[in-house]
Amino acid sequence: MQPQGPSIQLQNLSKRRDRDVQSQTTDDQQNQGEIRLENAEPAGLELPPVDRGFKAWSFVGAAFVLETIVWGFGFTYGVFQEYFLHHRTFGDASEAAIGAVGTIALATQYFEVMIFTLLALQWPDKIRMMMWSSLALCCGSLVMASFATKISHLILLQGVLFGIGGGGLYAPVIIYLSEWFVARRGLAGSFIFGGSGAGGALFPVAANFLLTNLGWTLRVWAAFMFIFGALALSFVRPRLPVVRAQDTSGLNLWSRLRRQHWGFLKSPLFLCMTTTTFLQALAYFPVSLYMTVYTTSLGLSALNGTLVLSIFNLSSIVGQIIFGHVCDIAPYRYVIVASGSGAALSAYLLWGFAHNLGLIFAFVVIFGSLSGGFCSVWPAASVEIAGSEQSSVSNIMGFLSMAKGLAAIVGPLVAAALHHPEQATTKSTYSGYGFKDVTLFVGSMMVATAVGGITTRLARRISW
């Protein structure tokens, strides 16, 4: 298939949607479950241009901010984990329990993106209220978490509740991205997704400073998140007029969901892409969570561990922008193969022999850029999986997000089982410090990711 195919199909779809908005045809009412346009003029309605203009790129900027404060904070948890373990903040709480706070928060966010996307598509007029409520939940959960005295309290507040709020705050970005961008969707998406890397690069340094010198880090973070989140919400708006659901036919949520297009669930390409995403994330999250711990295991300072995590997250921005642009001009499966094989080699050859800070930095730069940019293939893959049913793109990206969310739980649990902290002072020719099995696991999952990229070429030729 020519790489321009999905973009042309989606562009034609966007034009048809614009004409439907202007004429308020009954086709929209059938597809959206008996909806009507609110405050839309039947004639002479001018929509903002696609792929260009201030409104389109201001949406990208605001979405970047939301990505930064929602996902960037989650990728900073490695600093909190190292601090809690070193200072025994929660007494005899296990390494797995302390690590669960960050993984549960991320996993919940990935799952909630799918759930809130489905809800937002059914009740688009409620999206603004949903986003403001989610922002309030995020900030409130962090304030309450600052008073936690048990690890179970932290898991519930900073893990579950923050994750739910983060998912609801971010989900509309996925929906609106499909409205604002078509031909340049990969590039726009890569800029947005780069927010997690930017936050993950800057926030660890800030968190380390606050934890060391201030002591009420989460309350400061809640205030910071509310201010910048509120500013971002002023620019995160849909391109198409907001619609209000008219439940005149008495349809419940389940009936509404059944009327959507779910044929992609049986697609071999969808199953292959979902599996590949899961395997890739199994390797990514253990590195994100344990690089700070690994660095301090070498006898280096906590500040060095923080800088390593920052560089790791910062490197992902480079990969996301480059991979996003490549996906606009070439088949996305090339990116998957390059990402998986390159990251596997860096794990085996660099992390395996990283006995000093220089090699650690080399590893996190290469692995971070190659693995951190993987999600930039999601828009292109979702368009191809959806085929003629382009209204399914948001749902497909939601399922890919759920696959990554599941891996956010499973990956660190596997890494915790493979990590041997009692060997933290033991150095060996290959790996060591209790991380040998973790290193081999990460490399193996990245090899499987590269194989998944090759398999997608075969899967797209099969139809059920």
pLDDT score of 82 more than 50: yes
Query: What's the pLDDT tens digit per position in 272-312?
Result: 999 999 999 999 999 988 888 899 888 888 889 889 989 99
For residue 253, name the pLDDT band (cuts at 50, 70, 90): low
In a domain, residue 140? The reply is: yes
Residues 265 and 268: their CA atoms lie apart, in Å, by 8
For residue 244, name the pLDDT band (cuts at 50, 70, 90): low
pLDDT at 36: 35
Higher-pLDDT residue of 145, 254: 145
Q: What is the CATH number of the domain that holds 439?
A: 1.20.1250.20
Query: What's the pLDDT tens digit per position in 326-373?
Result: 888 889 999 999 999 999 999 999 999 999 999 999 999 999 999 988
- Report the b/e string of 377-416 with b at 16+ CB within 10 A: bbbbbbbbbbbebbbbbbbbbbbbbbbbbbbbbbbbbbbb
First to last CA, the chain: 18
203, two tokens: 């926030």
In a domain, residue 8? The reply is: no
Dihedral angle sign, alpha carbons of residues 81, 84, 86, 91:
negative
- 3, 59, 55: which is closest to 381 by C-alpha? 3
Q: Are 295 and 304 in contact (CB under 8 A)?
A: yes
In a domain, residue 46? The reply is: no
pLDDT score of 21 more than 60: no
Query: What's the pLDDT tens digit per position in 157-212?
Result: 999 999 999 999 998 898 888 888 888 887 888 889 888 888 888 898 899 899 88
Residues 359 and 298: their CA atoms lie apart, in Å, by 12
pLDDT at 245: 57
Residues 48 and 62: their CA atoms lie apart, in Å, by 17
Residues 340 and 277: their CA atoms lie apart, in Å, by 11
What percent of the chain stands above pLDDT 90? 38
In a domain, residue 293? The reply is: yes
Residues 423 and 426: their CA atoms lie apart, in Å, by 5
Query: What's the pLDDT tens digit per position in 397-448?
Result: 889 988 998 998 899 889 988 988 877 677 778 887 889 999 999 999 999 9
Mean pLDDT for the chain overall = 83
- 231, 226, 228, 236: which is closest to 137 by C-alpha? 226
Residue 245: phi, psi to the nearest 5? -70, 135
In a domain, residue 290? The reply is: yes
For residue 393, name the pLDDT band (cuts at 50, 70, 90): confident
The structural domain count of the chain equals 1
Dihedral angle sign, alpha carbons of residues 414, 370, 164, 137:
positive
**Mapping DSSP to helix (H, G, I), strand (E, B) and coil, where does residue 92 land?**
coil
pLDDT at 463: 54
In a domain, residue 20? The reply is: no
3-state helix, strand, coil in the chain (%, to 5): 75, 0, 20
Residue 450, Cα to own-chain centre: how many angstroms?
20
pTM, entire model: 0.74
Q: Are 33 and 259 in contact (CB under 8 A)?
A: yes
In a domain, residue 441? The reply is: yes
Residue 429: phi, psi to the nearest 5? -60, -45
In a domain, residue 18? The reply is: no
Dihedral angle sign, alpha carbons of residues 188, 190, 193, 196:
negative
The answer to which of 85-99, 126-140, 165-179, 294-308 has the lowest mean pLDDT is 85-99
What percent of the chain stands above pLDDT 70? 86
Q: What is the residue range of 363's domain?
A: 53-459
Neighbours of 2 (CB within 10 A): 8
Which of the listed ranges 40-44, 58-62, 184-188, 263-267 does the model predict with the highest average pLDDT? Answer: 58-62
For residue 256, name the pLDDT band (cuts at 50, 70, 90): low
